[in-house]
Structure 1
Amino acid sequence: MVKKIYLIRHGQTYFNVRGIVQGSGVDAPLNETGHQQATQFHASYGHMPFARVYTSTLMRTHQSVQPFLDAGLPQEQHRALDEISWGHREGTRITPEEDIEYHGLLRAWQRGETHLALRGGESPEQVAARQRPFIDEVLRGRPDEDTILVCMHGRAMRVLLCQLLNYPLSAMDLFEHRNLCLYRVHYTGSMFSIRSFLDTQHLG
């Protein structure tokens, strides 16, 4: 049996538009555009036989799948799906000085130094470690859960995709993301494969 995972990033927030760093410590709501994106996604995929929706513990993922919840789809929240913690940068506007720090960290991650983190934040390796029990749970699955919806966050989604596809964490940035984008991933019992990459057709 093929397990089908529909993996989406949350819709747009005011923090996204204003260039303010959001991590696991910032529980920002969707803005008007984000709610519209959630409606558009449901209009395109509301017919899918999702057995369950898995979200992070943060409000922006719950609101992104609210139309599915309103229709009665069961939900489970998992801290494993929360965004990476950006530590002292969370809730701050991006400045040129901080961009130097941030982009320096990204380059270090691309070199394979994925144990590094911003002060007070998480490293990709720490995010990967908290995601692994969730991955195991999904793979064990319930007998009737062959199609599921997962809503999470950009950087954490990149980490998750690396783990599912056996990519090194240094390759995270290969997996681009936008608000309410879709990655469709199939698991055949031995390996994962991507069937849709950065799909935003449902947003018009």
Structure 2
Amino acid sequence: MVEMELLGVQVEMPSQSPLMLLRETAGSGRVLPVVIDTPEAQAIYRGIERIRVARPLTHDLMAAMLDVLGATLVKVTVTDLRDRTFFAEMEVTIGSATHTISARPSDAVALAVRAETPIFASEEVLDAAGQIIEVPEESSDDDDDDDDVEVDPDELLDEFKQFLDEVQPDDFGPVAGSSDPE
């Protein structure tokens, strides 16, 4: 399993499909784009921004239920990619018992954001759908060590957006099955 960080959600052009972006925290920095539905994109955004509404929405309710039941969301893992559909699992502990619950990645991440839980992806999923975003190296007169180049997350996200604007479905090869998000 590879630890990931949530870069955020954005709308992919020209399809207007919401996209959840996860990036490796170490290693090559691969980015995992996951097409999600609009309500889940809004839920993730509300979680990131800590936006509260008058009455709890689904993911807020789930977080409250975990808390009241004394359960802990230990981790979320994007486990599989089949027929262009991503799968995830949530690991939950209650006392000394551990439970694994199947979930859509968007729902699992929306809950993970609220619970401040680590997010992971399987190496197989990253190999199949991860994208390496090339970041131009900055030159410095004071330092000849290229290993210390800092990567601006906004620049990385801009470059990824450019990649999304140019990518075509055929770039990923033939796909069997449905084209439903996640």
TM-score (norm 1): 0.23
Q: Which has the larger radius of gyration?
A: 2
**Greater relative CO (CA pairs within 8 A, separation 6+):** 1
- Larger helix fraction of residues: 1
TM-score (norm 2): 0.25
- Larger strand fraction of residues: 2
